[in-house]
Amino acid sequence: MGAGDVKLMAAIGSIVGWANWLGIFLITALLGGLLAIILLLGRGKLRSSLWNVGFLIQRLGTLQAPTRGRSWASRAQNR
């Protein structure tokens, strides 16, 4: 059915109430990001991943398609 994260947050919100839900959501998002960084460090891909994020932000900030000029992204988009 998809959107499992949305369903989980709806269930948590129904249990703890909307006032506490925001705090739980923020803590969950921060812990998820921290875990992602730890995994990237362990795999030796932190530097390239941060470069990719910076590239995406830069391209989107100038209202350009992030995949333009990147041959690997163009191939992935055509599949």
User: What are 59-68's pLDDT values in tens digits?
Assistant: 888 888 777 6
Distance CA 4, CA 12 (A): 12
60 Cβ neighbours under 8 A, 6+ residues apart: 66
pLDDT(44) > 90: yes
Rounded to whole angstroms, how far apart are CA atoms 8 and 28? 12
User: pTM of the entire structure?
Assistant: 0.63
What are the residues whose beta carbons fall under 8 Å from the beta carbon of 46, sequence distance 6 or more?
37, 40
Mean local confidence (pLDDT), 58-77: 70
